């Protein structure tokens, strides 16, 4: 996080999601995507922590958070198409 010339808080959401491998929003491979250690975890407490962290980020920088998750959703969509084609052939 840093401040712009206008004094507004600037949040690098991508960097926040990558900053700490123990973040509830991250996977264990530290690539910053929601995964087993966060939103998709089987642990109710880890899921709750990820949702709370995400909701906090959404209040700070909603457009940036949405853009980061849009990239993730697109990646998952493309990967699922490739996997489907692999299993069909």
Per-residue pLDDT of 20-40, as tens digits, reads 445 544 444 444 444 445 777
Sign of the C-alpha dihedral computed for residues 60, 32, 50 and 69 taken in this order: positive
Locate all alpha helices (DSSP H) within 1-89, ordered by sequence: 13-19, 44-60, 62-88
Judged against a pLDDT cut of 50, whether residue 83 lies above it is answered with yes
Q: For all residues of the chain together, what is the average pLDDT? A: 67
With CA atoms as reference, report the closest residue to 17 among 78, 64, 59: 64
For residue 21, the model assigns a pLDDT of 47
Separation of alpha carbons 72 and 34, rounded Å:
8
- What pairs with residue 3 in β-bridges? 9
């Amino acid at each position: 996080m840093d401040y712009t010339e206008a004094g507004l808080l600037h949040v690098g959401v991508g960097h926040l999601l990558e900053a700490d491998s123990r973040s509830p929003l991250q996977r264990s491979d530290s690539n910053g995507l929601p995964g087993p250690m966060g939103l998709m975890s089987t642990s109710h407490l880890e899921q709750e922590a990820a949702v709370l962290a995400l909701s906090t980020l959404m209040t700070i920088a909603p457009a940036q958070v949405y853009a980061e998750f849009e990239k993730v959703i697109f990646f998952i969509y493309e990967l699922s198409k490739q996997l489907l084609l692999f299993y069909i052939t």
